[in-house]
């Protein structure tokens, strides 16, 4: 039997190589060139007003926190409300700026629970960090409303949300269209790391609502170098004569990653659609087997919304999660856990026990294989193997028998 990985990127190799070849032939592999072209294409695709291409989403999250800290005059020790169910980048970005991650609990969608966000607001709360797990957005709109009412910025960690679109919003032209989730946030950060649903090799994008923040990000992502003043007077003759008003970082993206991104972006909607098909198959088979131990994760995107389906997570109850994962890996099926409750890590254990639901869910979570190299029969094999591992499994209710039963009718 072939092995099935949990996440496995697919590249349009020939097309990607052609784009990269252009970079090499024109000797433009670093900052600029195709990295700018990718920013423009990403803005066209997402309808976000600004986009700055970076080495990673982690860099983007850090810049968002840093820029808001300076802009709004936050002090060390001020608080940002965040989720314990995320990749550590989200919360490290807060610590990089000597701010304090305050963990609110999640709901059944795996995203922040707005009621818990409200409970955690203090006079030191300066922002909220929202993560759309696996492409799901939970009660995002309520969290955004809370930020609006509190007058604090909302940062969206959209590492899983490339192409997750909510139902219709009005455009400037009076037409209606789907909108990339995060269009109404103060900063939204995407990851194009190799196992995300728009994979390059390693890169990310930070998209600020405010033009000035975007400008600041561009300066800070290149060591704080500000060429604009000299550009204006010297038209490039003295381009070594720039000012450095800030301590910046080496965070900017490069043309090679941009070249890969340009190709992958063309297929993003198509790829997400395929991920949705596989997910529907999972739903269908689990539904047919109706296993008490399995609890799918609620999809809160409704109507004509589009789910990126970066992950297909389920909950395995009755304390069987670890057992099922081990058994599956013996059968060549590799799963993941997205994520371990971050308050279990030494870095964040000051908050251990504060988010009971996240903790419980985290102990039951498993991300099943979902990627573009899979077929429907792979999905079926995964579900059948899971069922076969579970003590409650009744062979008379197997997928094959279920399908035969239906066919007879
Ligand atoms: C992958 C990921 C990140 C970090 O992305 P990089 O581009 O690897 O820095 C941040 N947050 C979440 C939720 C992620 O899954």
For 96-141, the pLDDT digits (tens) are: 999 999 999 999 999 999 999 999 999 999 999 999 999 999 999 9
Q: Which residue has the tokens 């808001």?
A: 68
138 and 223 in a single domain? The answer is: yes
With respect to residue 202, please indicate whether it lies within any of the assigned structural domains: yes
198 and 346 in a single domain? The answer is: no
**Residue ending a domain, choose from 213, 232, 266:** 266
Are 368 and 312 contacting, i.e. CB atoms less than 8 angstroms apart?
A: yes
Distance from Cα 124 to the centre of ligand 1, integer Å: 26
- Token reading at 113: 């629970």
- Residue 10 CA to residue 23 CA, distance in Å, equals 21
> CA 123, 127, 130: angle at the middle one, nearest 5?
135
With respect to residue 3, please indicate whether it lies within any of the assigned structural domains: no
The CATH number of the domain where 166 resides is what? 3.40.640.10
276 and 213 in a single domain? The answer is: no
With respect to residue 319, please indicate whether it lies within any of the assigned structural domains: yes
The CATH number of the domain where 275 resides is what? 3.90.1150.10
- Kindly give the pairing relationship between strand 125-131 and strand 154-157: parallel
231 and 274 in a single domain? The answer is: no
281 and 331 in a single domain? The answer is: yes
Count of domains for the chain: 2
With respect to residue 6, please indicate whether it lies within any of the assigned structural domains: no
With respect to residue 190, please indicate whether it lies within any of the assigned structural domains: yes
268-289 vs 376-389: helix axis angle to the nearest 10?
30
Q: Report the atom number in ligand 1 closest to the C-alpha of 60.
A: 9
Q: Which residue has the tokens 């607001």?
A: 121
313 and 377 in a single domain? The answer is: yes
- Kindly give the pairing relationship between strand 187-191 and strand 204-208: antiparallel
240 and 272 in a single domain? The answer is: no
Ligand 1 — pocket residues by CB below 6 A? 56-58, 86-87, 89-90, 131, 157, 159-160, 191, 193, 204
Q: Report the atom number in ligand 1 closest to the C-alpha of 160.
A: 15
Q: Whose CA is nearest to atom 10 of ligand 1?
A: 89
Are 162 and 134 contacting, i.e. CB atoms less than 8 angstroms apart?
A: no
Q: Report the atom number in ligand 1 closest to the C-alpha of 204.
A: 7
**Residue ending a domain, choose from 266, 294, 325:** 266
Q: Report the atom number in ligand 1 closest to the C-alpha of 195.
A: 1
Burial class (CB in 10 A: 0-12, 13-18, 19+), 202: middle
235 and 116 in a single domain? The answer is: yes
The SS3 of residue 315 is: strand
230 and 151 in a single domain? The answer is: yes
Helix residue ranges per DSSP H, 221-267? 228-234, 255-266
Distance from Cα 87 to the centre of ligand 1, integer Å: 6
With respect to residue 45, please indicate whether it lies within any of the assigned structural domains: yes
Q: How far is CA 294 from CA 71, 320, 324, in A?
A: 46, 10, 11
Q: Report the atom number in ligand 1 closest to the C-alpha of 202.
A: 7
- Domain, as residue range, for 57: 13-266
Distance from Cα 191 to the centre of ligand 1, integer Å: 6
- Residue 162 CA to residue 181 CA, distance in Å, equals 8
Residues in the chain: 409
Per-residue pLDDT tens, the chain, 409 aa: give them.
789 999 999 999 999 999 999 999 999 999 999 999 999 999 999 999 999 999 999 999 999 999 999 999 999 999 999 999 999 999 999 999 999 999 999 999 999 999 999 999 999 999 999 999 999 999 999 999 999 999 999 999 999 999 999 876 665 666 667 899 999 999 999 999 999 999 999 999 999 999 999 999 999 999 999 876 555 555 656 677 888 988 999 999 999 999 999 999 999 999 999 999 999 999 999 999 999 999 999 888 877 889 999 999 999 999 999 999 999 999 999 999 999 999 999 999 999 999 999 999 999 999 999 999 999 999 999 999 999 999 888 877 788 777 766 655 4
Using only the alpha carbons of the chain, give its radius of gyration.
Answer: 23
Report DSSP letters for 383-403, one per residue.
Answer: HHHHHHHSTT--GGG-HHHHH
Q: Which of 157, 192, 310 to mutate to test the pocket of ligand 1 (most atoms within 8 A of CB)?
A: 157
Closest CA to 56 of 221, 193, 258: 193
Distance from Cα 159 to the centre of ligand 1, integer Å: 5
Distance from Cα 242 to the centre of ligand 1, integer Å: 33
With respect to residue 48, please indicate whether it lies within any of the assigned structural domains: yes
With respect to residue 297, please indicate whether it lies within any of the assigned structural domains: yes
208 and 297 in a single domain? The answer is: no
- Token reading at 59: 């860099």
**Residue ending a domain, choose from 231, 266, 301:** 266
197 and 288 in a single domain? The answer is: no
Distance from Cα 135 to the centre of ligand 1, integer Å: 13
229 and 277 in a single domain? The answer is: no
């Amino acid at each position: 039997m072939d092995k099935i990985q949990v996440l496995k990127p697919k590249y349009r190799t020939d097309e990607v190589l052609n784009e990269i070849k252009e970079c090499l032939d024109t000797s433009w592999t670093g900052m600029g060139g195709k990295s700018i072209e990718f920013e423009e294409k990403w803005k066209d695709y997402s309808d976000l007003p600004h986009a700055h291409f970076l080495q990673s989403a982690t860099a983007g999250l850090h810049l968002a926190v840093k820029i808001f800290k300076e802009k709004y005059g936050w002090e060390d020790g001020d608080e940002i409300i965040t989720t314990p169910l995320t990749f550590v980048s989200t919360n490290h970005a807060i610590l990089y700026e000597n701010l304090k991650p305050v963990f609110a609990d999640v709901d059944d969608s795996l995203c922040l629970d707005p009621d818990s966000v409200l409970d955690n607001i203090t006079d030191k709360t300066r922002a909220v960090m929202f993560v759309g797990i696996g492409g799901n957005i939970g009660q995002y709109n309520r969290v955004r409303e809370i930020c609006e009412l509190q007058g604090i910025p909302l940062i969206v960690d959209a590492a899983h949300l490339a192409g997750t679109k909510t139902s219709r919003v009005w455009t400037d032209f009076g037409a209606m269209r789907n909108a990339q989730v995060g269009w109404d946030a103060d900063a939204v950060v995407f990851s194009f790391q190799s196992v995300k649903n728009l994979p390059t090799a390693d890169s990310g994008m930070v998209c600020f609502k405010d033009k000035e923040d975007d400008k600041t990000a561009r300066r800070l992502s290149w060591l704080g170098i500000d060429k604009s003043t000299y550009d204006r007077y010297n038209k490039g003759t003295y381009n070594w004569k720039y000012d450095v008003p800030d301590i910046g970082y080496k965070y900017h993206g490069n043309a090679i990653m941009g070249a890969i991104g340009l190709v992958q972006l063309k297929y993003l909607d198509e790829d997400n659609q395929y991920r949705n098909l596989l997910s529907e198959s999972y739903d269908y088979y689990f539904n047919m087997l109706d296993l008490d131990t399995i609890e799918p994760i609620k999809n809160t995107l409704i109507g004509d919304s589009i789910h990126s389906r970066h992950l297909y997570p389920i909950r395995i109850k009755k304390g069987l999660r670890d057992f099922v994962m081990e058994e599956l890996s013996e059968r060549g099926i590799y799963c993941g856990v997205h994520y371990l409750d971050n308050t279990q890590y030494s870095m964040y254990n000051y908050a251990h026990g504060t988010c009971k639901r996240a903790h419980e869910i985290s102990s039951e979570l498993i991300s099943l294989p979902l990627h573009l190299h899979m077929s429907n029969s792979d999905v079926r094999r995964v579900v059948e193997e899971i069922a076969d591992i579970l003590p409650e499994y009744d062979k008379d209710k197997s997928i094959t028998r279920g399908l035969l039963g239906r066919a007879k009718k």
